[in-house]
Structure 1
Amino acid sequence: MRLFKKFIQYYKPYKAVFFMDMFCALIVSAVDLAFPQILSFLTKTLFTRQPDIILNSLVKLGIALFFMYFIRMLCRFYVTYQGHVMGAKMESNMRQDLFDQYERFSFSYYDRSNTGEMMSKLISDLFDISELAHHGPENVFISAIKIIGSFILLLMVNVPLTLILSAVVAVMVIFSVHQNKKMQGTFMDNRRKIADVNASLQDSLAGIRVVKSFANEDVEQKKFRKRNQQFLHSKESNYLRMGIFHAGNNFFEGMLFLTVLVAGGFFIAKGSLSPADLAVYALYINIFVHPIEVLIEFTEMLQKGVSGFRRLTEVLDTVPEIQDAPNAKELTDVKGTLDFKNVTFRYNDEESVLEHINIHVDAGRSVALVGPSGGGKTTLCSLLPRFYDVTSGAVCIDGKDVRTLTQKSLRSAIGIVQQDVYLFDGTVKDNIAYGKPKAGMEEIVQAAKEADIHDFIKSLPDGYDTYVGERGTRLSGGQKQRIAIARVFLKNPPILILDEATSALDNESERYIQHSLNKLAHGRTTITIAHRLSTIRSADEIIVIDNDGIRERGTHAELLAKNGLYAKYYNMQFEDR
């Protein structure tokens, strides 16, 4: 019932279309029910009169029936066209709600979720829900009217015969309900298996360059084949249940006709039913059986739609771990003073990644975090824009706990340049403008100049309108990095996080990028995560972090003089060169 209430909420914006759709469905059903009655009436009245009277009446009768079926045609068109449009709009609304929910989730949700499975919920599941949204009410309504209407009319023809027919229908319903429960599990399993197929496909295609570089196409083919075969087996199980369901119901439909023929013949022999009435009865049996067939087919659609909608609501009912507090305030007039106060953080129930970290950064100053991988440097920086929330302690900007601020205003004040640059599918201009979507062309060009990428962009065939390819595959690592830097220049945030922004680049590219980063960091509060220690020698403070927490802190010169862990790392890199 809870699922049903959530489902009907999506009909609210389209109530007028829905009720008009049901009205048209009522007209269609009424016309179908009326024809046998008209035929029965004409057989007993008009067609028993003189030939000239019959001929004179046929024109009027033909015109009346023509308009009746013309109206039926218009109603059927409305049901088919507007009904489907309504379903498509509901599907669009659900897809938007699901996407919006995905956007609300924090990093922790994506840490444990697969992109392919999320896409499966966004696309294939919603198509089946759309079909149910349109055909569900229409099929049930039309079928109910036809079954109830034809049953009443059958009772009017012969009560005993109709009661015998009802007994067969009752057995048919019991069989259908029993099989329907078994089908439900197979449809849900189908959803999970096709999500696995999508996940495998997405994973393989996203990493196709790694696949090719290791010549591991056969490995990926085996992995995909396994998932594909699991989905096939699930479908086979599903079709087995469907086969039993449809074949069984088809058998019971045959039993309905057998019952009419045998029982009808018995009542004719007893003189309680005329052959003419049996003929009319047979017409109504067709009207009675057809909606039963529709409902049987609808059951498959219902199971697909319900299983898809259940998966949808599982996501929509998931409460995002990071949310604005009820009284969250906007972060304004940012100076850039940062405080990590006794910060402890752990992922779910795992061991702590950070414990009792205390760091103070004055506005406009630069701090560098160094140390081995896995020491928590990136995690520490992720706490500042609330990609994760602290387990205990507090992270503050200008003395304000970030949990008391709106996420949008908080993240608008922070610029991030990462090692793994993500460029969106589009043009160079689009990717730079991502830092400020409403920026004018002059602002975009100025940001590119500050990032030392303007001359390169102008040398491209289409300049700023050059298509960069998916994930920026048409550009080198250094070019992508400078576009990412231009994006942050355009955003112009007072706080900057540089997360190993040059570690994946060659020495020449690093020199250019470092020059751009130095310009970007000027006048901003900056936290830099670096493995190449030569890039952070000018930092106001360097903090060495490993699995045991903060080990050392000071300027480059002070830490070298201590001859401790930082000096060890620095000398190792110097020796490598």
Structure 2
Amino acid sequence: MSTTTPPRPATPPPPRMGGGMPGMGMPMGKAENFGPSARRLVARMRRERVALLAVVVLGVISVAFSVAGPKILGHATDIIFEGVLGRMRGTAGAGIDFAALAEVLMWVMGLYLVSSLFGWWQGRVLNNVVQRFVFRLRSDVEDKIHRLPLRYFDGQPRGELLSRVTNDIDNVSTTLTQTLSQLLTSLLTVIGVLVMMLTISPLLTLIALLLIPISVVATGRIRKRSQALFVAQWKHTGALNAHIEEAFTGHQLVKVFGRQRESEAEFKRRNDELLGSAMGAQFVSGLIMPMMMFLSNVSYVAVAVVGGLRITSGSMSLGEVQAFIQYSRQFTQPLTQVASMANLMQSGVASAERVFELLDAEEQEPDPAEASLPAERRGRVEFEHVSFSYRAEQPLIEDLSLVAEPGQTVAIVGPTGAGKTTLVNLIMRFYELDAGRITLDGVDITALKREDLRSQTGMVLQDTWLFGGTIRDNIAYGNSAATEEEIIAAARATYVDRFVRTLPDGYDTVIDEEATNVSAGEKQLLTIARAFLANPSLLILDEATSSVDTRTESLVQHAMAALRSSRTSFVIAHRLSTIRDADVILVMESGQIVEQGSHDELMAAEGAYHRLYAAQFAAAV
């Protein structure tokens, strides 16, 4: 073992930020670049262009049959009106031609039935398109996450990332489902109705069109005001969620220190802020629909008055005016729908922007196309003039060289922030080096595939991680091909079997998502058993016994001794009693190795290790 490194100030890794309650993040209220983001969203649907073309064709057919109905129905009105008028005048043989009336009504019913069938077909095809698109988007995000470097997750709040993966994609799905069909149908309806209106009366069409500029200006002002209120609403929602998460996560501390009243007061303040902004946002955005209804009614009155005058002058029939009034209603309704969908589209595109930001994030360096493999797996690790920093302006490790021979147990000690965990993270290639290289059995780790590198490495961390499942499944996570006998053997070797046998369901005991039905020490033992079962050639233990009691620690030390045999092991420890039997102890301060040697040698040197040992044991005595 050899080391060389000049002194250099250290910087601990940036803290991993906690997010709000998972799944509780709210999508942004307004897209920063609506046009480009909307075009990119549509461009990602090109694979479904055939199905989308079918949606358009089905929509055209459905709308065409639908808009033809009122004009044909106007003929029925003329038949009734002419029959009644003829009878009032006493014309011989006058009366309603029920045969002709029935024929017209049957045609109208047939048109509306066909329109409904094609509309249903369109909705079904569109739903399949959207769901396939969202499926691919989720898959792309999942693949992207696996290609992102650990550095990206260090700088991202957990709740924020979860919100992009869950809430924002769900919001995109909801927006596409609700708006694409309505938007297409509305636009086609406006075009079809406008054509039919022009064929009936250009003058009445001009009167109806006066509604458009007025409604555009009015809804634009309302939408601008409502967007600001929605942003405030979602901001206060996020703040309230963060407070709730803190209070619920630390509810024991809140009660211990008697802070219930302060917590409730803070909740009430934030809840009142949310209530005010939410009521304002809903009230202002809710003005769009009644305003459009008012303008529609004004247009209806104007059309009815002018149409009545034209009927009396004989230039239009009653059926034509009645059909035109129906068309004017059909004309304003899709405009109202488009106006009401504006906020939904803004929210959906804003969520798409957040997903695109994740997809555009810088990825980790790809694995080499032709990966190298060590000729023999012995577990020899060598650092050659390694330099690394989490932030360019604050170097942490510079020009570090060391060698861990096969089968050696290398213990790394030092104060918090000295760079101990950073050292093993570099071995696992969780971060890329700024300079130098690390070799495993003579092969540069950058020439290995990450999967090959990590498959021969076992890692037990201070922060235990167990998933919802049985104890057997959690142990077998280290080796999915392990047999029942191998799982139990690993459990016995790491003293897991002792407490599992006391559980009612034994190895079939289901651990919940938070692992609240096992103690902290038992969690640690399970993770050690998992690493034991993996049978790695390189072992990394980062405070692996920090959560076990003194008696269990002694037992685990014996298990670890067996686990470390014939393997190169890196052990990070604050409790110096756990690493006294290490082959080599490295003492780190400020990103550099200031001492190395065995326990006895370092104690005799009375340097940094001696001071750490004295602070931990002598001072207590």
Distance 2:271 2:534 in 1: 45
Question: Partner of 1:131 in structure 2?
Answer: 174
Question: Partner of 2:19 in structure 1?
Answer: none
Q: Does 1:509 align with 2:552?
A: yes
Question: Partner of 2:365 in structure 1?
Answer: 323
Distance 1:460 1:302 in 2: 53
Question: Residues 399 and 22 (structure 1 numbering): CA distance in 2 closer, same or farther, change over 3 Å?
Answer: same
Question: Partner of 2:67 in structure 1?
Answer: 33
- The answer on whether the counterparts of 1:120 and 1:194 sit within 8 Å (CA) in structure 2 is no
Distance 1:46 1:319 in 2: 72
Give a deviation string over 1:46-103, Cα, whole Å, max 9, x none.
Answer: 9858789944456655555444444334334334555445434433443343344334
Q: What is the number of equivalent residue pairs in this alignment?
A: 576
Question: Residues 200 and 34 (structure 1 numbering): CA distance in 2 closer, same or farther, change over 3 Å?
Answer: same
Question: Residues 245 and 45 (structure 1 numbering): CA distance in 2 closer, same or farther, change over 3 Å?
Answer: closer
How far 1:227 sits from its partner (Å)? Answer: 5.2
SS in structure 2 at match of 1:435: coil
How far 1:445 sits from its partner (Å)? Answer: 2.5
Distance 2:178 2:55 in 1: 11
Distance 2:266 2:459 in 1: 36
Q: Does 1:168 align with 2:211?
A: yes
- The answer on whether the counterparts of 1:414 and 1:493 sit within 8 Å (CA) in structure 2 is yes
- The answer on whether the counterparts of 2:494 and 2:529 sit within 8 Å (CA) in structure 1 is yes
Aligned letter for 1:324? P
Question: Partner of 1:537 in structure 2?
Answer: 580
Distance 2:191 2:411 in 1: 77
Distance 2:275 2:445 in 1: 49
Aligned letter for 2:59? A
Give a deviation string over 1:403-462, Cα, whole Å, max 9, x none.
Answer: 333222222222111122111122112211222334443432332233221243233211
Alignment of 1:12-27 (within 5 A): 12=46, 14-15=48-49, 17-27=51-61
- The answer on whether the counterparts of 2:461 and 2:543 sit within 8 Å (CA) in structure 1 is yes
Aligned residue among 238, 248, 259 for 2:302: 259
Question: Residues 426 and 359 (structure 1 numbering): CA distance in 2 closer, same or farther, change over 3 Å?
Answer: same
SS in structure 1 at match of 2:585: strand
Q: What's the Cα RMSD here? A: 3.1
Give a deviation string over 1:13-64, Cα, whole Å, max 9, x none.
Answer: 5555544444443333223211112112344569858789944456655555
Question: Partner of 2:282 in structure 1?
Answer: 239
Alignment of 1:391-402 (within 5 A): 391-402=434-445
SS in structure 1 at match of 2:467: coil
Aligned residue among 361, 385, 400 for 1:342: 385
SS in structure 2 at match of 1:419: coil
Aligned letter for 1:329? A
SS in structure 2 at match of 1:472: coil
SS in structure 1 at match of 2:338: helix
Name the one with the larger helix percent: 1
Question: Partner of 1:552 in structure 2?
Answer: 595
Distance 2:413 2:64 in 1: 78
Question: Partner of 2:467 in structure 1?
Answer: 424
How far 1:342 sits from its partner (Å)? Answer: 2.4
Q: Does 1:410 align with 2:453?
A: yes
- The answer on whether the counterparts of 2:82 and 2:96 sit within 8 Å (CA) in structure 1 is no
Question: Partner of 1:459 in structure 2?
Answer: 502
- The answer on whether the counterparts of 1:485 and 1:516 sit within 8 Å (CA) in structure 2 is no
SS in structure 1 at match of 2:574: coil
Question: Residues 269 and 66 (structure 1 numbering): CA distance in 2 closer, same or farther, change over 3 Å?
Answer: closer
SS in structure 2 at match of 1:452: coil
Distance 2:134 2:94 in 1: 57
How far 1:148 sits from its partner (Å)? Answer: 1.0
Distance 2:288 2:531 in 1: 60
Question: Residues 177 and 406 (structure 1 numbering): CA distance in 2 closer, same or farther, change over 3 Å?
Answer: farther
Aligned residue among 534, 551, 557 for 1:491: 534
SS in structure 1 at match of 2:415: coil
Aligned letter for 1:464? Y
- The answer on whether the counterparts of 1:327 and 1:404 sit within 8 Å (CA) in structure 2 is no
Q: Larger deviation: 94-103 or 354-363?
A: 94-103
How far 1:279 sits from its partner (Å)? Answer: 1.9
Distance 2:312 2:99 in 1: 38
Give a deviation string over 1:219-262, Cα, whole Å, max 9, x none.
Answer: 55555556555544543453354144444434432332243234
Question: Residues 228 and 546 (structure 1 numbering): CA distance in 2 closer, same or farther, change over 3 Å?
Answer: farther
Question: Residues 380 and 193 (structure 1 numbering): CA distance in 2 closer, same or farther, change over 3 Å?
Answer: farther
Question: Partner of 1:4 in structure 2?
Answer: 38
Q: Does 1:390 align with 2:424?
A: no
Q: Larger deviation: 142-151 or 90-99?
A: 90-99
- The answer on whether the counterparts of 1:27 and 1:72 sit within 8 Å (CA) in structure 2 is yes
Name the TM-score, length of structure 2 as normaliser.
Answer: 0.83
Q: Does 1:97 align with 2:140?
A: yes
Aligned letter for 1:78? W
Distance 2:287 2:555 in 1: 69
Question: Partner of 2:490 in structure 1?
Answer: 447
Aligned residue among 490, 496, 518 for 1:475: 518
How far 1:552 sits from its partner (Å)? Answer: 0.7
Give a deviation string over 1:197-216, Cα, whole Å, max 9, x none.
Answer: 44444454444555555554
How far 1:143 sits from its partner (Å)? Answer: 0.9
Distance 1:99 1:198 in 2: 25
Distance 2:236 2:390 in 1: 28
Question: Residues 360 and 316 (structure 1 numbering): CA distance in 2 closer, same or farther, change over 3 Å?
Answer: same
Q: Larger deviation: 537-546 or 456-465?
A: 456-465
Distance 1:257 1:420 in 2: 69
- The answer on whether the counterparts of 1:117 and 1:198 sit within 8 Å (CA) in structure 2 is no
- The answer on whether the counterparts of 1:120 and 1:195 sit within 8 Å (CA) in structure 2 is no
Structure 2: unaligned runs, 5 residues or longer: 1-34, 84-92
How far 1:157 sits from its partner (Å)? Answer: 1.5
Distance 1:327 1:279 in 2: 73
Q: Larger deviation: 452-461 or 69-78?
A: 69-78
How far 1:190 sits from its partner (Å)? Answer: 5.0
Question: Residues 456 and 375 (structure 1 numbering): CA distance in 2 closer, same or farther, change over 3 Å?
Answer: same
Give a deviation string over 1:313-333, Cα, whole Å, max 9, x none.
Answer: 12221123x332454626555
How far 1:525 sits from its partner (Å)? Answer: 0.9
How far 1:282 sits from its partner (Å)? Answer: 0.6
Aligned residue among 424, 434, 440 for 1:381: 424
Q: Percent identity?
A: 31
How far 1:545 sits from its partner (Å)? Answer: 0.6
Structure 1: unaligned runs, 5 residues or longer: none
The higher-RCO structure (CA 8 Å, 6+ apart) is: 2
Q: Larger deviation: 487-496 or 184-193?
A: 184-193
Aligned letter for 1:97? D
SS in structure 1 at match of 2:510: coil
Q: Larger deviation: 565-574 or 48-57?
A: 48-57
Aligned letter for 1:90? F
Q: Does 1:434 align with 2:468?
A: no
Distance 1:363 1:452 in 2: 27
Distance 1:399 1:220 in 2: 57
Question: Partner of 1:118 in structure 2?
Answer: 161
Q: Does 1:153 align with 2:196?
A: yes
